[in-house]
């Protein structure tokens, strides 16, 4: 995963994100903002410590974690969840968020993009972040 660190990826496409947010009870106003911002994602790796930062005009949110170690996360819309992130293969981070609902967030890194797949209930949302040149 270190190969993808220190690069910036910007949201380029998003499918079913409004449905995903609705299923999580995100308010109308916050959904409008969420639907209209293109965050920039940035990963840093320091030994066994990973930091994922998402920056947008709405909010900057940062999570720091070690693989497989549960941590408290506040989502950009303000939910507090218990999260665990594991590495699958050598380029995919799989996050489980436990809160009022359980959410799975898969981030697959490749040379040109991060493919993010977010699942809650029966809703599968796909967001593609493209490498910023
Ligand atoms: C992303 O990082 C999406 C993360 C999902 C956050 C839940 C809802 C946020 C509402 C603004 O691309």
Atom of ligand 1 nearest to the CA of 14: 12
Tokens of 25: 């009870």
pLDDT tens digits, 52-80: 999 999 999 999 999 999 999 999 999 99
Distance separating alpha carbons of residues 94 and 56, to the nearest angstrom: 22
| Other Cβ atoms closer than 10 A to 32 | 12
Distance separating alpha carbons of residues 29 and 118, to the nearest angstrom: 21
The arithmetic mean of pLDDT across residues 122-128, rounded, is: 98
Looking at residue 39, what DSSP letter applies?
-
CB 107 within 8 A of CB 116: yes
Centre of ligand 1 to C-alpha 34, Å, is: 7
**Confidence at 133, pLDDT banded by 50, 70, 90:** confident
pTM: 0.96
Centre of ligand 1 to C-alpha 85, Å, is: 16
Q: 23 CB under 6 A from ligand 1? A: no
pLDDT tens digits, 6-57: 999 999 999 999 999 999 999 999 999 999 999 999 999 999 999 999 999 9
């Amino acid at each position: 995963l270190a190969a993808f660190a220190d690069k910036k990826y910007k949201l380029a496409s998003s499918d079913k994100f409004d449905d995903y947010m609705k299923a999580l009870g995100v308010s109308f106003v916050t959904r409008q903002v969420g639907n209209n911002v293109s965050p920039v994602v940035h990963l840093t790796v320091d030994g066994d410590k990973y930091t994922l930062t998402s920056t947008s005009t709405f909010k900057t949110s940062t999570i720091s974690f070690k693989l497989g170690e549960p941590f408290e996360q506040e989502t950009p819309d303000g939910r507090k969840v218990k999260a665990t992130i594991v590495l699958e293969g050598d380029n995919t981070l799989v996050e489980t968020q436990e809160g009022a609902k359980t959410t799975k967030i898969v981030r697959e890194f490749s040379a040109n993009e991060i493919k993010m797949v977010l699942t809650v209930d029966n809703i599968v949302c796909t967001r593609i972040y493209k490498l910023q040149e």
